[in-house]
Structure 1
Amino acid sequence: MAYATIRRGASQELTEAEFNTLRQHLVGMRCRQKAMDLLAMREHGRKELELKLRRKEFPSDTIAEQLDRLEEENLLSDQRFAFQFIVSRQRKNPEGRHVLVLRLMQRGIDRTVAESAAGQWFSDEEAAHDALCRAAARSLRKKQVDHTHLRAELYKKGFTAAEISNFMDELD
Protein backbone atom coordinates (compact mmCIF):
# COMPACT_ATOMS: atom_id res chain seq x y z
CA MET A 1 0.00 0.00 0.00
CA ALA A 2 1.40 3.42 -0.93
CA TYR A 3 1.30 6.12 1.75
CA ALA A 4 2.81 9.04 -0.10
CA THR A 5 4.40 9.84 -3.37
CA ILE A 6 7.48 12.03 -3.45
CA ARG A 7 9.94 12.70 -6.20
CA ARG A 8 12.97 10.49 -5.74
CA GLY A 9 14.33 10.45 -9.24
CA ALA A 10 11.45 8.69 -10.96
CA SER A 11 8.07 8.71 -9.27
CA GLN A 12 8.52 6.26 -6.39
CA GLU A 13 6.17 5.60 -3.52
CA LEU A 14 7.09 5.35 0.14
CA THR A 15 6.61 1.99 1.76
CA GLU A 16 4.60 1.76 4.96
CA ALA A 17 7.84 1.33 6.94
CA GLU A 18 9.42 4.40 5.30
CA PHE A 19 6.28 6.43 5.93
CA ASN A 20 6.18 5.41 9.61
CA THR A 21 9.88 6.21 10.03
CA LEU A 22 9.36 9.63 8.46
CA ARG A 23 6.29 10.31 10.60
CA GLN A 24 8.15 9.27 13.76
CA HIS A 25 11.03 11.58 12.84
CA LEU A 26 8.66 14.51 12.28
CA VAL A 27 6.87 13.91 15.59
CA GLY A 28 10.28 13.87 17.30
CA MET A 29 11.20 17.17 15.65
CA ARG A 30 7.91 18.78 16.76
CA CYS A 31 8.37 17.44 20.30
CA ARG A 32 11.92 18.81 20.48
CA GLN A 33 10.78 22.19 19.12
CA LYS A 34 8.03 22.45 21.74
CA ALA A 35 10.51 21.55 24.48
CA MET A 36 12.95 24.17 23.17
CA ASP A 37 10.18 26.78 23.08
CA LEU A 38 9.36 26.06 26.73
CA LEU A 39 13.03 26.14 27.73
CA ALA A 40 13.47 29.47 25.93
CA MET A 41 10.93 31.02 28.31
CA ARG A 42 12.59 29.72 31.50
CA GLU A 43 14.45 26.74 32.95
CA HIS A 44 12.38 23.61 33.51
CA GLY A 45 13.04 20.39 35.36
CA ARG A 46 12.88 17.19 33.33
CA LYS A 47 9.69 16.00 35.05
CA GLU A 48 7.92 19.33 34.56
CA LEU A 49 8.88 19.43 30.88
CA GLU A 50 7.79 15.82 30.44
CA LEU A 51 4.35 16.60 31.90
CA LYS A 52 3.91 19.62 29.61
CA LEU A 53 4.85 17.56 26.54
CA ARG A 54 2.47 14.77 27.58
CA ARG A 55 -0.34 17.32 27.74
CA LYS A 56 0.47 18.09 24.10
CA GLU A 57 -0.07 14.35 23.45
CA PHE A 58 3.42 13.48 22.26
CA PRO A 59 4.21 9.74 22.62
CA SER A 60 6.07 8.83 25.84
CA ASP A 61 8.98 7.20 24.01
CA THR A 62 9.42 10.28 21.81
CA ILE A 63 9.38 12.55 24.87
CA ALA A 64 11.98 10.43 26.66
CA GLU A 65 14.21 10.35 23.58
CA GLN A 66 14.05 14.11 23.06
CA LEU A 67 14.58 14.94 26.75
CA ASP A 68 17.60 12.61 26.82
CA ARG A 69 19.05 14.49 23.83
CA LEU A 70 18.42 17.86 25.47
CA GLU A 71 20.19 16.67 28.63
CA GLU A 72 23.14 15.35 26.61
CA GLU A 73 23.39 18.75 24.91
CA ASN A 74 23.14 20.46 28.33
CA LEU A 75 20.03 22.34 27.23
CA LEU A 76 18.00 20.68 30.00
CA SER A 77 19.42 20.42 33.51
CA ASP A 78 17.62 19.62 36.76
CA GLN A 79 20.56 21.14 38.68
CA ARG A 80 20.32 24.42 36.77
CA PHE A 81 16.52 24.46 37.13
CA ALA A 82 16.75 23.80 40.88
CA PHE A 83 19.20 26.64 41.44
CA GLN A 84 17.17 29.09 39.33
CA PHE A 85 14.00 28.05 41.15
CA ILE A 86 15.66 28.82 44.51
CA VAL A 87 16.97 32.18 43.29
CA SER A 88 13.49 33.11 42.07
CA ARG A 89 11.75 31.94 45.25
CA GLN A 90 14.21 33.76 47.48
CA ARG A 91 13.68 36.98 45.55
CA LYS A 92 9.87 36.81 45.80
CA ASN A 93 9.10 34.88 48.98
CA PRO A 94 12.18 33.94 51.04
CA GLU A 95 12.15 30.48 52.60
CA GLY A 96 14.51 28.19 54.45
CA ARG A 97 16.53 25.36 52.95
CA HIS A 98 14.18 22.60 54.13
CA VAL A 99 11.06 24.10 52.53
CA LEU A 100 12.89 24.82 49.28
CA VAL A 101 14.17 21.24 49.04
CA LEU A 102 10.63 19.95 49.59
CA ARG A 103 9.23 22.31 46.94
CA LEU A 104 11.81 21.07 44.42
CA MET A 105 11.07 17.44 45.23
CA GLN A 106 7.37 18.15 44.64
CA ARG A 107 8.41 19.31 41.16
CA GLY A 108 10.15 16.02 40.43
CA ILE A 109 13.71 17.02 41.34
CA ASP A 110 15.79 14.31 43.01
CA ARG A 111 16.55 15.00 46.69
CA THR A 112 20.33 15.04 46.17
CA VAL A 113 20.02 17.54 43.31
CA ALA A 114 17.64 19.71 45.37
CA GLU A 115 19.93 19.63 48.41
CA SER A 116 22.95 20.44 46.26
CA ALA A 117 21.22 23.48 44.73
CA ALA A 118 20.04 24.66 48.16
CA GLY A 119 23.53 24.16 49.56
CA GLN A 120 24.96 26.20 46.71
CA TRP A 121 22.55 29.09 47.34
CA PHE A 122 22.81 28.99 51.14
CA SER A 123 26.63 28.89 51.01
CA ASP A 124 26.42 32.66 50.51
CA GLU A 125 25.83 33.49 54.19
CA GLU A 126 25.02 37.12 53.49
CA ALA A 127 22.29 36.20 50.99
CA ALA A 128 20.91 33.57 53.37
CA HIS A 129 20.80 36.09 56.23
CA ASP A 130 19.16 38.65 53.95
CA ALA A 131 16.49 36.09 53.00
CA LEU A 132 15.75 35.45 56.67
CA CYS A 133 15.48 39.20 57.35
CA ARG A 134 13.12 39.70 54.40
CA ALA A 135 10.98 36.73 55.50
CA ALA A 136 10.73 38.22 58.99
CA ALA A 137 9.88 41.66 57.61
CA ARG A 138 7.14 40.12 55.46
CA SER A 139 5.66 38.34 58.46
CA LEU A 140 5.78 41.50 60.55
CA ARG A 141 4.11 43.56 57.78
CA LYS A 142 1.21 41.12 57.54
CA LYS A 143 0.29 41.45 61.18
CA GLN A 144 1.67 42.54 64.47
CA VAL A 145 3.32 39.49 65.96
CA ASP A 146 5.33 38.93 69.08
CA HIS A 147 8.67 37.11 69.17
CA THR A 148 7.04 33.71 69.72
CA HIS A 149 4.76 34.06 66.71
CA LEU A 150 7.59 35.42 64.57
CA ARG A 151 9.71 32.37 65.48
CA ALA A 152 6.81 30.10 64.49
CA GLU A 153 6.30 31.93 61.18
CA LEU A 154 9.98 31.66 60.28
CA TYR A 155 10.09 28.01 61.29
CA LYS A 156 7.10 27.31 59.00
CA LYS A 157 9.04 28.94 56.19
CA GLY A 158 11.78 26.34 56.69
CA PHE A 159 14.43 28.28 58.56
CA THR A 160 16.30 26.28 61.20
CA ALA A 161 15.99 26.93 64.92
CA ALA A 162 19.64 28.06 65.01
CA GLU A 163 19.12 30.55 62.17
CA ILE A 164 16.01 31.92 63.86
CA SER A 165 17.71 32.19 67.27
CA ASN A 166 20.67 34.06 65.80
CA PHE A 167 18.30 36.41 64.00
CA MET A 168 16.21 37.01 67.13
CA ASP A 169 19.38 37.75 69.12
CA GLU A 170 20.23 40.43 66.55
CA LEU A 171 16.78 41.99 67.01
CA ASP A 172 17.22 42.34 70.76
Structure 2
Amino acid sequence: MPDTILPPELVRKAQDVVAANRRAGRTIAVAESCTGGLVSAAITEIPGSSEVFDAGFITYSNGMKNEVLKVSHDVLDTFGAVSIATAWAMAQGALEKSHAHVAVAITGVAGPGGGSDNKPVGTVVFARAERGSSPDNVVADMRHFEDNGRGGVRLQAALVALDLLLPDSPVP
Protein backbone atom coordinates (compact mmCIF):
# COMPACT_ATOMS: atom_id res chain seq x y z
CA MET A 1 0.00 0.00 0.00
CA PRO A 2 1.30 3.48 -0.81
CA ASP A 3 2.57 5.71 1.99
CA THR A 4 -0.56 7.69 2.82
CA ILE A 5 -2.31 9.60 5.57
CA LEU A 6 -5.67 8.27 4.38
CA PRO A 7 -7.39 5.37 6.17
CA PRO A 8 -6.22 2.00 4.80
CA GLU A 9 -9.76 0.82 3.95
CA LEU A 10 -10.31 3.93 1.87
CA VAL A 11 -7.07 3.42 -0.06
CA ARG A 12 -7.85 -0.27 -0.66
CA LYS A 13 -11.30 0.61 -2.00
CA ALA A 14 -9.79 3.29 -4.25
CA GLN A 15 -7.28 0.73 -5.57
CA ASP A 16 -10.20 -1.55 -6.46
CA VAL A 17 -12.00 1.33 -8.21
CA VAL A 18 -8.97 2.33 -10.27
CA ALA A 19 -8.17 -1.27 -11.27
CA ALA A 20 -11.78 -2.17 -12.13
CA ASN A 21 -12.36 0.96 -14.20
CA ARG A 22 -9.03 0.49 -15.99
CA ARG A 23 -10.11 -3.06 -16.93
CA ALA A 24 -13.52 -1.75 -18.04
CA GLY A 25 -11.90 1.00 -20.12
CA ARG A 26 -13.96 3.73 -18.54
CA THR A 27 -13.22 7.05 -16.90
CA ILE A 28 -14.80 8.49 -13.79
CA ALA A 29 -15.70 11.83 -12.21
CA VAL A 30 -16.95 12.76 -8.77
CA ALA A 31 -19.00 15.68 -7.50
CA GLU A 32 -18.44 16.06 -3.77
CA SER A 33 -20.01 18.21 -1.14
CA CYS A 34 -19.89 16.80 2.42
CA THR A 35 -16.83 14.66 1.65
CA GLY A 36 -14.91 17.78 0.62
CA GLY A 37 -12.61 16.02 -1.84
CA LEU A 38 -11.98 12.87 0.20
CA VAL A 39 -13.13 10.59 -2.63
CA SER A 40 -10.95 12.42 -5.16
CA ALA A 41 -8.00 12.31 -2.76
CA ALA A 42 -8.39 8.56 -2.29
CA ILE A 43 -8.56 7.90 -6.02
CA THR A 44 -5.59 10.11 -6.83
CA GLU A 45 -3.58 8.42 -4.07
CA ILE A 46 -3.36 5.40 -6.40
CA PRO A 47 -0.48 5.35 -8.91
CA GLY A 48 -1.90 5.25 -12.43
CA SER A 49 -5.21 6.79 -11.40
CA SER A 50 -4.82 9.37 -14.17
CA GLU A 51 -5.80 6.63 -16.62
CA VAL A 52 -9.32 6.55 -15.17
CA PHE A 53 -9.88 9.70 -13.09
CA ASP A 54 -11.12 12.52 -15.30
CA ALA A 55 -12.40 15.15 -12.86
CA GLY A 56 -13.37 15.96 -9.32
CA PHE A 57 -15.69 18.81 -8.39
CA ILE A 58 -15.94 20.02 -4.81
CA THR A 59 -19.09 22.11 -4.69
CA TYR A 60 -19.60 22.72 -1.01
CA SER A 61 -21.86 25.75 -1.21
CA ASN A 62 -25.22 25.89 -2.95
CA GLY A 63 -23.90 28.75 -5.07
CA MET A 64 -21.13 26.55 -6.44
CA LYS A 65 -23.50 23.62 -6.94
CA ASN A 66 -25.51 25.97 -9.14
CA GLU A 67 -22.63 27.79 -10.85
CA VAL A 68 -20.31 24.83 -11.53
CA LEU A 69 -22.63 21.84 -11.81
CA LYS A 70 -25.78 23.68 -12.92
CA VAL A 71 -27.96 22.42 -10.08
CA SER A 72 -30.96 24.71 -10.43
CA HIS A 73 -31.94 27.18 -7.74
CA ASP A 74 -35.43 25.67 -7.90
CA VAL A 75 -34.09 22.23 -6.95
CA LEU A 76 -31.93 23.64 -4.16
CA ASP A 77 -34.74 25.83 -2.79
CA THR A 78 -37.42 23.15 -3.05
CA PHE A 79 -35.56 20.04 -1.93
CA GLY A 80 -32.43 21.39 -0.25
CA ALA A 81 -28.77 20.59 -0.77
CA VAL A 82 -29.13 17.20 0.92
CA SER A 83 -31.67 15.57 -1.36
CA ILE A 84 -31.93 12.98 -4.07
CA ALA A 85 -32.88 15.73 -6.53
CA THR A 86 -29.71 17.68 -5.76
CA ALA A 87 -27.45 14.61 -5.86
CA TRP A 88 -29.05 13.59 -9.18
CA ALA A 89 -28.40 17.05 -10.63
CA MET A 90 -24.81 17.07 -9.30
CA ALA A 91 -24.08 13.71 -10.96
CA GLN A 92 -25.57 14.92 -14.24
CA GLY A 93 -23.59 18.17 -13.98
CA ALA A 94 -20.34 16.29 -13.37
CA LEU A 95 -20.94 14.25 -16.52
CA GLU A 96 -21.71 17.37 -18.53
CA LYS A 97 -18.60 19.20 -17.27
CA SER A 98 -16.24 16.26 -17.81
CA HIS A 99 -15.36 13.60 -20.35
CA ALA A 100 -16.03 10.79 -17.86
CA HIS A 101 -18.10 7.72 -18.60
CA VAL A 102 -19.57 7.65 -15.09
CA ALA A 103 -20.02 10.23 -12.33
CA VAL A 104 -20.91 9.88 -8.67
CA ALA A 105 -22.22 12.70 -6.49
CA ILE A 106 -22.20 12.92 -2.71
CA THR A 107 -24.05 15.48 -0.59
CA GLY A 108 -24.95 15.27 3.08
CA VAL A 109 -24.73 16.39 6.69
CA ALA A 110 -21.39 15.38 8.21
CA GLY A 111 -21.92 17.28 11.47
CA PRO A 112 -21.47 18.07 14.17
CA GLY A 113 -24.08 20.73 13.41
CA GLY A 114 -26.32 21.33 10.44
CA GLY A 115 -28.70 18.46 11.01
CA SER A 116 -32.46 18.67 11.41
CA ASP A 117 -35.29 16.34 12.42
CA ASN A 118 -35.78 15.38 8.77
CA LYS A 119 -32.08 15.26 7.88
CA PRO A 120 -30.06 14.48 10.99
CA VAL A 121 -26.27 14.39 11.11
CA GLY A 122 -25.21 11.31 9.17
CA THR A 123 -27.74 11.81 6.36
CA VAL A 124 -25.90 11.44 3.05
CA VAL A 125 -27.31 11.22 -0.47
CA PHE A 126 -25.54 9.56 -3.39
CA ALA A 127 -26.23 9.53 -7.12
CA ARG A 128 -24.51 7.82 -10.04
CA ALA A 129 -25.01 8.79 -13.67
CA GLU A 130 -23.55 7.12 -16.74
CA ARG A 131 -22.87 8.77 -20.07
CA GLY A 132 -25.25 7.61 -22.77
CA SER A 133 -27.85 6.45 -20.27
CA SER A 134 -31.23 8.04 -19.96
CA PRO A 135 -31.36 10.71 -17.25
CA ASP A 136 -34.07 8.53 -15.73
CA ASN A 137 -31.43 5.80 -15.30
CA VAL A 138 -29.59 7.66 -12.54
CA VAL A 139 -29.03 5.59 -9.40
CA ALA A 140 -29.74 7.64 -6.29
CA ASP A 141 -30.19 6.78 -2.63
CA MET A 142 -30.28 8.45 0.78
CA ARG A 143 -28.38 6.80 3.62
CA HIS A 144 -28.40 7.48 7.35
CA PHE A 145 -25.00 6.73 8.85
CA GLU A 146 -24.33 6.52 12.55
CA ASP A 147 -23.23 9.88 13.88
CA ASN A 148 -19.76 8.75 14.91
CA GLY A 149 -18.23 12.17 14.39
CA ARG A 150 -17.62 14.29 11.32
CA GLY A 151 -14.66 12.21 10.16
CA GLY A 152 -16.59 8.98 10.63
CA VAL A 153 -19.56 10.17 8.58
CA ARG A 154 -17.28 11.44 5.82
CA LEU A 155 -15.33 8.16 5.72
CA GLN A 156 -18.51 6.08 5.51
CA ALA A 157 -19.80 8.34 2.72
CA ALA A 158 -16.54 8.12 0.78
CA LEU A 159 -16.55 4.31 0.97
CA VAL A 160 -20.10 4.12 -0.40
CA ALA A 161 -19.23 6.59 -3.17
CA LEU A 162 -16.24 4.47 -4.17
CA ASP A 163 -18.46 1.37 -4.26
CA LEU A 164 -20.73 3.22 -6.67
CA LEU A 165 -17.77 3.82 -8.99
CA LEU A 166 -17.20 0.10 -9.44
CA PRO A 167 -18.54 -1.20 -12.77
CA ASP A 168 -21.92 -2.91 -12.32
CA SER A 169 -22.23 -1.68 -8.75
CA PRO A 170 -25.72 -2.08 -7.26
CA VAL A 171 -27.81 0.63 -5.70
CA PRO A 172 -26.12 1.71 -2.46
- Structure of larger gyration radius: 1
TM-score by length of 1: 0.26
Hey, which of these two has a bigger chunk of strand by percent? 2
Between 1 and 2, higher relative CO (CA 8 Å, sep ≥ 6) is seen in: 2
